[in-house]
Amino acid sequence: MFYGILTLVMQSKKNILIVDDDHAITEALQSLFTRAGYEISLARSGWEALAKLEHKPDLIILDLMLPGLDGYEVCRQIREAERYFPILMLTAKDEVSDKVKGLELGADAYLVKPFEPSELVAQVRALFRTVETKSPSGAERPITCGPIELWEGQHRVIIAGTEIELTPKEFELLSFLLRHKGQVIGRETLLREIWGYAFEGDSRTVDVHIQRLRSKIESDPVAPRFIQTVRGFGYRLVAPDEF
């Protein structure tokens, strides 16, 4: 019985893929996350990281300065995959423009080296909490708008009977717009509510995520039926029958 429980615990461990060509860093991260209870796999280059996606890691810690294929391109290609992989960029590049570019390409979090180990572990745990699918609750009711159903507890979005896979930020963005259906929401408000006061990016981040969200929920993203642009201010979500 003991061995059966031990096997179950080991199978339930989350796997983190660490992508970095600095051996000292990867050794330190491997030790840190092993002690924190995670399984670790390593990739020393961008190409190796993409090859290891077939093993379906639960989260990716990605350096930007990699040999051959840099972290930005790796992130872009990961976001083109059918499966969603949470990405935390961990890099020495600390310019605001670097952070904005990384987040616009689809990274879920961005942390600069050198880092506090406790903060990094906390960031990873927060990402896992965000993307975990919780057990369905009989009391839960979806937030709806026309054919859109968003189940917050289960982290699911269903449109006209088809489930749509969103990144955590896309999910938060759609959830906020649904909870304020019909209202015009400014870009600065969306930045504050979705990315937080400490975020150093600009309104381009909102526009990029809106475009990605439209590409997933709209039948024609060029002529959106759900998310309207209110020029000079922001966005409004409406049901098609409200046009």
pLDDT in tens, 65-77: 998 899 999 998 8
* pLDDT at site 11: 42
pLDDT greater than 90 at residue 227: yes
Report the range of poorest mean pLDDT among 135-139, 147-151, 187-191: 135-139
Domain extent listing, the chain: 2-131, 143-242
* pLDDT at site 24: 93
Closest Cα partner for 84 from 105, 63, 58?
58
Contacts of 125 (CB under 8 A, 6+ apart): none
* pLDDT at site 88: 94
What's the mean pLDDT in 139-143? 69
202 within 8 A of 213, measured Cβ to Cβ: no
* pLDDT at site 94: 84
Fold of 2-131: Rossmann fold (3.40.50)
Q: What is the pLDDT of residues 8-20, one digit of tens each?
A: 334 458 999 999 9
* Tokens 């937080």 -> residue: 196
Query: Is residue 2 very low, low, confident or very high in pLDDT (cuts 50, 70, 90)?
Result: very low
* pLDDT at site 153: 75
Report the range of poorest mean pLDDT among 148-157, 181-190, 204-213: 148-157
Q: What is the pLDDT of residues 181-205, one digit of tens each?
A: 889 999 889 988 888 755 666 668 8
Q: Which CATH architecture has domain 143-242?
A: Orthogonal Bundle (1.10)
pLDDT greater than 50 at residue 139: no
Mean pLDDT of the chain: 84
55 within 8 A of 98, measured Cβ to Cβ: no
Closest Cα partner for 90 from 25, 32, 36?
25
* pLDDT at site 25: 94
The share of the chain scoring above pLDDT 70, in percent, equals: 86
Q: What is the 3-state secondary structure (H, E, C) of 151-220?
A: ECCCCEEEECCEEECCCHHHHHHHHHHHHCCCCCEEHHHHHHHHHCCCCCCCHHHHHHHHHHHHHHHCCC
Query: Is residue 31 very low, low, confident or very high in pLDDT (cuts 50, 70, 90)?
Result: very high
pLDDT greater than 50 at residue 137: no
Is the fold of 2-131 the same as that of 143-242?
Answer: no
